[in-house]
Amino acid sequence: MKILFTARGTDWNAEPDNRFGRGKYFVVYDEEQDHLTAHSNEENVNARHGAGIQAAQKAINLGVEVIISAELGPKARQTISQSHCRLYTIDDSSTIQELYRQYKKGNLKEQ
Amino acid sequence: MKIAIASGKGGTGKTTLATNLAVLCSSGSRDKPTVLSDLDVEEPNSGLFLKGETLHQQKIMKEIPGWIRDKCTFCNRCKEVCNFNAIAVLPDSVLVFPELCHSCYACVGLCPEDALVMKDHPIGELSHYKVNQLDFIEGKLNIGEQQAVPLISKTIDYTKENFPDNSIFLYDSPPGTSCPMIESVKEADYVILVAEPTPFGLHDLNLSVKTMHKVGKAFGVVINRHGLGNDDIEQFCRKERVRILGRIPNMPEIAEKYSRGELIIEIPEIRREMLNILTKTEEITGRWICRENHKTS
């Protein structure tokens, strides 16, 4: 399973970013490979319009099956709904590592 | 003669001024039509004060790309050329977001497979009413649509196509200084900025004055709710050499009439001030606007 976190940094200690479309990095954890990769979302951070849509397209093209971020806006949600991605809302975890633990424990709310 | 009634700040009295001036201009003027267009299409409210007979109604469309699945190779070109992020190319579908599309044709023109073609998408409605001698045109944007400009532009087109050039055109503009406001003032011969004597009113008047200079429009200011606050607006106008066309007093009777959807020119003192505003506008523009003004002279 590939899981995407929106984060302010690029590793497990990064703080979760509470924006989806304009989230700073898309950090993807591949559970099978036990491998973490970070993807800059700079092109959407400064987009004048449609950041959510393009971020959603980016997430789908990264092949993730789970997205853990803030509440998605209606257009990003509409785009994601074209895929089989599941959406979860971040809690008050201070790192994405902690967020991942909470996700595994089933403590995150599905959007 | 085209006069736009605009303001930087919302709720300063654009519609009050526009509807009352329009009724004054139209009264007694049978040879020259007076047309009021409500271009505040996101929340048109001139109609609250003008009750008349419906002459015409139509849907207003804009063009957006429609996707042809069988022709698409998912090459991503449409997404790349879209300046407005209105297209998402997903592994097995292409999504178009009509609210973001500016109808620029880039995706349609540059798609190598002709997999996108323009189609009509409804954005709002235009209504034409006759209120005694006044022709009143209203543009109303559909709920959820984000772009006012195409509807404003088509409402102006309708107005120009249906009335002779020598008509008196009054435009009730949307508030602010962004694209919708610019669209509604860009063809005007003269702009009346309405301001209220409050700190917000002054701040936003400053922005609209700068906008008028930038777009090169002749304009004057009407102070609404005069007597409220201080005289910062008057000082600002003196400093910036902006002509004050008139002052509508801050009177409970006005609020009462407004709340009942009535015209405030029914109050004699306000009627006189409105006529003064038209006289000053006539002096500045050198154009004849209102027959009422020339009855006794």
Interface test with A, best of B76, B79, B85 (most A CBs within 10 A): B85
Task: Write the DSSP string, B34-89.
Answer: EEEEE--TTS--GGGT---EEEEEEEEEEEEEEE-GGG-----HHHHH-TT--EEE
Q: Between B84, B90, B99, which is nearest A82 by CB?
A: B90
- pLDDT 10s digits, B185-223: 999 999 999 999 999 999 999 999 999 999 999 999 999
Predicted confidence band of residue B268 (pLDDT cuts 50, 70, 90): very high
Contact between chains at B90 and A50 (C-beta distance less than 8 A): no
User: Hey, which residues does B222 pair with through a beta bridge?
Assistant: B194, B246
**B69-114 classified as CATH 3.30.70.20:** yes
Contact between chains at B97 and A75 (C-beta distance less than 8 A): yes
* Domain definitions of chain B by residue range: 2-60+125-294, 69-114
Q: Between A47, A61, A83, which is nearest B85 by CB?
A: A47
pLDDT of the residue at B125: 98
Using left for φ > 0, alpha for ψ between -120 and 50, and beta otherwise, residue B247 falls in beta
Contact between chains at B100 and A53 (C-beta distance less than 8 A): yes
Mean pLDDT of B25-48: 90
pLDDT over 50 at B297, yes or no: no
By the CB < 8 Å criterion, does B84 face chain A? Answer: yes
Number of CB atoms found within 10 A of residue B166's CB: 11
Contacts with B, A 37-76, CB within 8 Å: 47-51, 53-54, 56-57, 60-61, 75
This complex has an ipTM of 0.81
pLDDT of the residue at B291: 65
Query: What is the rounded radius of gyration, in angstroms, for the C-alpha atoms of chain B?
Result: 22
CATH of region B2-60+125-294: 3.40.50.300
Predicted confidence band of residue B67 (pLDDT cuts 50, 70, 90): very high
- pLDDT 10s digits, A94-104: 999 999 999 99
By the CB < 8 Å criterion, does A84 face chain B? Answer: no
pLDDT of the residue at B28: 65
Interface test with B, best of A49, A60, A80 (most B CBs within 10 A): A49
Predicted confidence band of residue B31 (pLDDT cuts 50, 70, 90): confident
Q: Give all domains of chain A, ordered by start, each with its CATH number.
A: 2-110 (3.30.420.130)
Average pLDDT, chain B: 94
By the CB < 8 Å criterion, does A78 face chain B? Answer: yes
The order of strands in the sheet holding B116-131 is: B53-67, B116-131, B134-141, B34-38, B168-172, B2-6, B190-195, B219-226, B244-249
Predicted confidence band of residue B294 (pLDDT cuts 50, 70, 90): low
A95 to chain B, closest Cα gap in Å: 30
- pLDDT 10s digits, A41-88: 999 998 888 999 999 999 999 999 999 999 999 999 999 999 999 999
Name the token pair of B21: 């001036």
Would the CATH topology of B2-60+125-294 be identical to that of B69-114?
no
- How many CB contacts within 8 angstroms connect chain A with chain B? 42
- pLDDT 10s digits, B253-266: 999 999 999 999 99
Mean pLDDT of B217-242: 95
Position with higher pLDDT, B295 vs A63: A63
- pLDDT 10s digits, B75-88: 999 999 999 999 99
